Structure 1
Amino acid sequence: MIERILAIRVGRVGDTVMMTPALTALLHYYPKAEITLLLSPVGKMLLKDFHPNIKDIWTWDRSGIFKPIVDKKRILKDLKASTFDKIICFDTSPRIAALFDGLDTEFHQYKGSKELK
């Protein structure tokens, strides 16, 4: 049984808005799961009150020079301390997907619209 899910979309406002239908479907398909989101700071502002099953929102600020490195280290530490049953990445970036190499968690990544053909 899937109890804890991490959903990822570290993008701008439009990227975050575009993931909401998939997030709604995820919440519907796994109604008892606790969901953690990994978003940009603006994504957190948009989705902070989206649904009660969203238990936590982590942020990764990829702007600037040093902030992305500091945030990445914090995220890796949080990932190692967490136990997710499934990770779903709505971000097509290989850099973001690389964060999850070596984790013993089911991982799915959307790879763009060509995947749908």
Structure 2
Amino acid sequence: MNHIVQEQCDDTCEGTHPLSELKRNLIGESTAAGLADIFKALGDPTRVKIIHTLLQQELCVHDITQVLDMGQSAVSHQLRYLRNLRIVKRRKEGKTVYYSLDDEHIEQIFVQMLQHMKHA
């Protein structure tokens, strides 16, 4: 999408911006806050590593701690945070709890951002 942004717009602006339509279509407060929370979660390197690991395959907490070389308490705390935001989900099999990404939307966002980072 190409957007033309006017550098300065003051009270004397004579542009023909469809402001009323933009206002009407503005994202709601709760949606904006929820989206900001997801991006905030992606702002932590440990959580990014967990997401990247789970992008590759479903794992139990113990396996995640081994991959990231972190303590179980720290990993569990981060997984709980990610689960509360519906970024990861869990599946219980006997006494073992397995974690995976919640859905393909999370995977798509993450993969897109990785591609963006690699883009020169």
Greater strand proportion: 1
* TM-score over 0.5 (shorter chain): no
If the length of structure 1 is used for normalisation, what is the TM-score? 0.27
User: Looking at CA atoms only, which structure, 1 or 2, has the larger radius of gyration?
Assistant: 2
